[in-house]
Each structure stands twice: as structure tokens, then as C-alpha cells.
């Protein structure tokens, strides 16, 4: 089984309302209280980034998850993001495979360890801020939806 935490290319689709001046805002990486993880997708390793994103976009469309041409894909290395969130926000995260029959690329970012609701909310917000900061510092990791 693939260790997702070592994968070089994952992505998160960011809706247009969560993008400002071409960059994902913090709320693009927030988990809702009812969610156990932040959905991401594993880019196919046999394709270049843009072709992989086109495949992910097709998979999302088949699931009736509408993407917009005004949205963005945030692409990242699992290990680099895990380290960055730990260093910047002092939050430990991990990435888990969560494939389904209609989306074999689906994965999720989860908080490591157990937390009460208040701690989970605080840690989730810290994680989201760290991820948004990562992409502001790495604008070449943001791709348009095609």
C-alpha cells in the first residue's frame, strides 16, 4: 500500500469564493465541525501535473462535484506540507488514503491524535492558516482549473 504521507503530489480544489487575487484563502483549508478530514486528491504519478489535474477535474465532475474555471488547484508534497504545518503552526497532521469506487484518488488530511471539540477547532484553524501561508509563499503551486 502506498504511504500517502510520502507522496510528492497531492492537490486540493479551492472554490472561487475561497480564492483572493489568485491565491487560496485560509477558509479553503478549513474542515467543517462535521468533517473528520480535509479532502484532497492524489495526483496520478504517471502524469505531469497539468495532465494529472485534468484527470482529477474529470473525476470530480463525474462525482457531480462541480469545479469552476475561476477555482484553483493547490498542489503540494505531503511530506513538505506535514513539516510546514508542524513548524509554522505546531500542529501534527497526517494524510490518509480514502479512495472510493467513484474516486480512487481521494485522500484526507487529518489531525494526528485525539482532541476535544475546542482543541480540534483551534488546531484546524491553525492548520488552515499554515496551509494558506504555504501557498502564498509558493505561488507556483497554484494551478487554474482547465
What pLDDT, on a 0 to 100 scale, did the predictor assign at position 2?
54
What pLDDT, on a 0 to 100 scale, did the predictor assign at position 8?
76
What pLDDT, on a 0 to 100 scale, did the predictor assign at position 48?
95
Which of 4-13, 93-102, 130-139 has the least mean pLDDT?
Answer: 4-13
- Average pLDDT of 13-36? 96
- Look up residue 80 and give its three cell numbers: 513538505
What pLDDT, on a 0 to 100 scale, did the predictor assign at position 1?
43
Q: Which band of pLDDT confidence, cut at 50, 70 and 90, is reported for residue 5?
A: low
Contacts of 105 (CB under 8 A, 6+ apart): 41, 42, 43, 44, 55, 56, 59, 99
Does 7 score more than 80 pLDDT? no
Q: Determine what percent of the chain is predicted with pLDDT higher than 90.
A: 86
27-76 pLDDT, tens per residue? 999 998 899 999 999 999 889 999 999 999 999 999 988 899 999 999 99
Does 15 score more than 90 pLDDT? yes
CA distance 51 to 6: 21
- Look up residue 30 and give its three cell numbers: 478549513
Question: Where does residue 52 rank: exposed (0-12), middle (13-18), buried (19+ CB within 10 A)?
Answer: buried
What pLDDT, on a 0 to 100 scale, did the predictor assign at position 135?
98
Amino acid at each position: 500500500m502506498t504511504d500517502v504521507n510520502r507522496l510528492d503530489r497531492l492537490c486540493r480544489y479551492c472554490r472561487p469564493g475561497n480564492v483572493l487575487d489568485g491565491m487560496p484563502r485560509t477558509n479553503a483549508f478549513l474542515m467543517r465541525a462535521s468533517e473528520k478530514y480535509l479532502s484532497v486528491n492524489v495526483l496520478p504519478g504517471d502524469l505531469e501535473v497539468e495532465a494529472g489535474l485534468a484527470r482529477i477535474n474529470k473525476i470530480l465532475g463525474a462525482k457531480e462535484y462541480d469545479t469552476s474555471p475561476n477555482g484553483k488547484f493547490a498542489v503540494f508534497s505531503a511530506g513538505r506540507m506535514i513539516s510546514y504545518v508542524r513548524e509554522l503552526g505546531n500542529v501534527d497532521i497526517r494524510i490518509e488514503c480514502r479512495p472510493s469506487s467513484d474516486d480512487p484518488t481521494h485522500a484526507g488530511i487529518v489531525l494526528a491524535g485525539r482532541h476535544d471539540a475546542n482543541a480540534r477547532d483551534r488546531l484546524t484553524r491553525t492548520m488552515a492558516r499554515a496551509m494558506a501561508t504555504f501557498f502564498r509563499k509558493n505561488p507556483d503551486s497554484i494551478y487554474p482549473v482547465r
